[in-house]
Structure 1
């Protein structure tokens, strides 16, 4: 049997077994990139800032995934010609209602819409505009692994009409969170596994070149702002556990005896996060601490349960 035959058999076995998301780390990169592209595309339409964040990715049957959104979402059907396949992007009710407020200049002072009514024509038009933007975001994201375009075909409010293949076929579904005006919603992207199977090798390895495309000036700006952030440090000489009854009997003038000595180590922490073990000292009449050892999470746990 030739090596080519061996490769064909391996591919057939892998295709039959389906996609293991743990072995496709590039999918996470693509969907993170999609969240960024969605936020960037929305800036030209909205005065208020809206944030997209990639939440999760999992396998599921097309029918079961769509059934969970029945009566709660608008689905957009897209075609990827070079994949010879279709995929679905969906916006749930909260997503649509929040996006309408963002696009029409709301300041978020009104309570969020909670009606379980049908979508209006305006909400449908807003969804269509967002789907057209999603075609660009999909193309930008998947350009890392596949030179393809995504064509928006139609939208559906009935999930049983959102047909892109047999409903018991397996698919990959990625979920995103929209945050805007102190409210938000969910977006999902559903791609049949048969469309991604030919890209399996490209998706199995993280594209190192992607990290080189970041905006260097923006990264430097973020670093500068972080470095200027003020934080509070606390030096702890000793910590003791007491019962509430003992604390309730405290009196003004009472002296509490500490087991710590001038040679005891002092814990330096910020926001309840231990940072360093220190040594206590004096300089110019003031107490000082000298950084002695960085605290690791595991070591801190051991030191907390074992006496020093």
Structure 2
């Protein structure tokens, strides 16, 4: 009886072994198209408040090629990030070509597109590298959001490289899925490549073989009103930050009860009102009925904050 059970189990697993041996077929995983479209839409939305001009992302194509063939033509003409997916115990690559980087620099720093596109081969500047590092963080979150319905995975930027030979996430002959995404802004654009090795997608093959339908309740007006009502009642935590000061760990261990810490803030200094690590408003601190109170002075210019964060790195 036990031998029969083993034989039945082996017969059930045989199709999976055959599929693993044959490799991954894009046509047999239509959910990949949906995931990459979601990522493109998420990238567009995430950059909307940061850029001085609209930036549009779209999927230009999906290929199935050896890793070495994908990156070999971009040595010295691209910058790439290696993302670590802890739940998959695997790594993926996001690669931006030179035109993409230059387009993003102009879009983020307020260019109107009047000047012709920069067409010069040179090493990337420190500011350009800082900018793409910030972009890679956003793109990693966009990819994580795109996979949310299929796999509960998080992507962490492990390192950023300008030398394509340093992108060692496997053998050059290892087959990988490559999604080519185009960005368009200021009447110009560039290419972004998302490279995922077969070894990372193999465990998800069955989930990726079926397109997950969207929930029909989203079109129900009563359901939408109920959802909106519940969202409005959601409690959030607000934090007010008056000033921050960098000190050494040596100074921290010397703290004593009653010690006074001097801040650079003054009575006119505006405090940051934050929620979930997101700056919302600049506020004036005062008193009302014996309690500290905050009066909203200015909304936060997210684009300005984004640029300042890049320049301060």
Is 1:207 the counterpart of 2:212? The answer is: yes
Q: C-alpha deviations, 1:250-270, integer Å up to 9, x for none?
A: xxxxxxxxxxxxxxxxxxxxx
Offset of residue 166 of structure 1: 1.3
> Relative to 1, partners in 2 of residues 1:66 and 1:212: Cα closer, same or farther, differing over 3 Å?
farther
Offset of residue 4 of structure 1: 2.1
Offset of residue 213 of structure 1: 5.8
Q: C-alpha deviations, 1:250-296, integer Å up to 9, x for none?
A: xxxxxxxxxxxxxxxxxxxxxxxxxxxxxxxxxxxxxxxxxxxxxxx
Q: C-alpha deviations, 1:218-245, integer Å up to 9, x for none?
A: xxxxxxxxxxxxxxxxxxxxxxxxxxxx
TM alignment of 1:1-308, pairs within 5 A: 1-209=6-214
3-state DSSP class of the match of 1:16? helix
Highest Rg: 1 or 2?
A: 1
3-state DSSP class of the match of 2:207? helix
3-state DSSP class of the match of 1:83? coil
Distance 1:17 1:151 in 2: 30
Q: C-alpha deviations, 1:147-180, integer Å up to 9, x for none?
A: 0100111110110001111111110000001000
Distance 2:181 2:43 in 1: 10
Distance 1:32 1:64 in 2: 24
* Unaligned runs of at least 5 residues, structure 1: 217-308
> Relative to 1, partners in 2 of residues 1:57 and 1:210: Cα closer, same or farther, differing over 3 Å?
farther
Normalising by structure 2, we get a TM-score of 0.67
> Relative to 1, partners in 2 of residues 1:202 and 1:139: Cα closer, same or farther, differing over 3 Å?
same
Offset of residue 37 of structure 1: 0.4
CA RMSD of superposed structures (Å) = 1.7
> Relative to 1, partners in 2 of residues 1:156 and 1:204: Cα closer, same or farther, differing over 3 Å?
same
Distance 2:136 2:77 in 1: 17
Distance 1:130 1:69 in 2: 19
Distance 2:220 2:43 in 1: 17
Offset of residue 214 of structure 1: 8.4
Distance 1:137 1:215 in 2: 27
Deviates more, 1:203-212 or 1:109-118: 203-212
3-state DSSP class of the match of 1:209? coil
Distance 1:68 1:214 in 2: 46
Distance 2:93 2:61 in 1: 16
> Relative to 1, partners in 2 of residues 1:89 and 1:215: Cα closer, same or farther, differing over 3 Å?
farther
* Unaligned runs of at least 5 residues, structure 2: 1-5, 222-313
